[in-house]
Amino acid sequence: MDIPRGNIIVMDRRRGKLRVGQGLIQGLKVVWDHWAGSFHKNENFSQIHGTFTVEYPDERLPLPQTYRNMPVLLYDDESGHELCTGCYQCQRICPPQVIHITQAKDPVTGKMVPAATEFIIEYDACMSCGFCAEVCPFDSIKMDHVYELSTADRVSLTMRKAQLNRPISYYASIAPDLWAEVQAGAMKKLQGSIKRRPDVIGLAAVLTEKIKARRLELAAAAAAAPAAAAPAPAAPAAPAAKLTPEEKAAKLAAMKATNANKGVAAPPAKAPVELSPADAKAAKLAAIKAANAAKQAGAAAPPAEVPAELPPTDAKAAKLAAIKAANAAKKAAEQGNSE
């Protein structure tokens, strides 16, 4: 199979053939021009030419917002709570596996809490890829701009949570546009995490004074809670008065009447009106007279039994019975006269 190939064109970029030693002379001429030009005084910036370096560390070039060096952890300036929830996403995605997290637990229930008790990053092996910052769903881990990390002690490059903590205001100062894009969502998620964090879990380790104040506040609230929850001692109830024999008899009569009329809709009975002993005696006499009148008239109804002694609570019932008996006797007498 024939493969068509292009033609090779050879170009000689030299202006002319150099003789022996001419290339060396041209190089020395360039050096001579730069050396001679260093003695000239520059009157303005337009006369400055060549490549210059920044006089570090007195001068520093501004870094772009997307510059990444080493990851750090953010916490809220106002509440002191960390944005990290210990979800292990950054630990799983890290290519060199230099991130190590321990999630917090509730000391009372033992359940997992959205916070990290330990967060370690091995700076000596970190490759500054930024994967951890990209995958973090809570925007808690960001790439720092600090690059002056040279040290002769390798152990000091193992950074723990207290060394990784940075306030949100710090990151907003080095990357304001990047933080403005995620601020609303990050703060909303942080408020949800704070509600599920008991005691001082989730507070930044660098805020030792805030943690102490928070512990004192919780201790005071716990001490005040039992005093507020304890019920006030109730006033001693007045001893129940003992019922008299008459009241007991009335109570039994009421219970019997209720049982007898159970299931029959009846208007609620009015409270009995207590009569004086004189009224009770008059009702008793009226009942006796009515019974005698009924007996003389030859009424078929048997005479009502008259109690030997009527209690005050049953006086009203006796009075009604006497009235009914009187009416019956009167009616029987009228019938006898008509015959």
Q: Of 76, 119, 115, which is closest to residue 196 (Cα–Cα)?
A: 115
Q: 311: which 2 tokens?
A: 């209690």
Q: Taking the model in full, what pTM does it have?
A: 0.52
Count CB atoms within 10 A of the CB of residue 89.
19
Amino acid at position 258, single letter = T
In a domain, 75, yes or no: yes
Q: 215: which 2 tokens?
A: 């512990």
> Residue 275 has what pLDDT?
53
Per-block mean pLDDT, blocks of 10 residues, the chain (339 long)? 65 66 88 85 74 83 94 94 95 96 93 95 95 96 94 93 95 96 96 92 84 80 71 53 66 75 52 56 72 63 48 65 78 69
> Residue 214 has what pLDDT?
76
Q: Say whether 65 sits in a helix, a strand or coil.
A: coil
Structural domain boundaries enclosing 322: 275-294+309-333
Amino acid at position 32, single letter = W
Please provide the DSSP assignment of 101-166 as one string: EEEEE-TTT--EEEEEEEEEEETTT-----HHHHH-TTS-EEE--------S-SGGGEE-HHHHEE
CATH number at residue 179: 3.30.70
Verify that 133 and 216 share a domain, yes or no. yes
Verify that 209 and 286 share a domain, yes or no. no
> Residue 304 has what pLDDT?
46
Q: How far is CA 87 from CA 80, 120, 135, 225, 234, in A?
A: 19, 14, 11, 34, 52
Verify that 94 and 159 share a domain, yes or no. yes
How many structural domains does the chain have?
2
In a domain, 290, yes or no: yes
Q: Which secondary-structure segment (H or E) carries 191?
A: helix 176-195
Verify that 186 and 101 share a domain, yes or no. yes
> Residue 47 has what pLDDT?
75
Verify that 164 and 79 share a domain, yes or no. yes
Final residue of a domain: which of 198, 224, 250? 224
Residues 206 and 165: beta-carbon distance below 8 Å: yes
Verify that 114 and 173 share a domain, yes or no. yes
| Ordered strands of the 112-122 beta sheet | 99-105, 112-122, 158-159
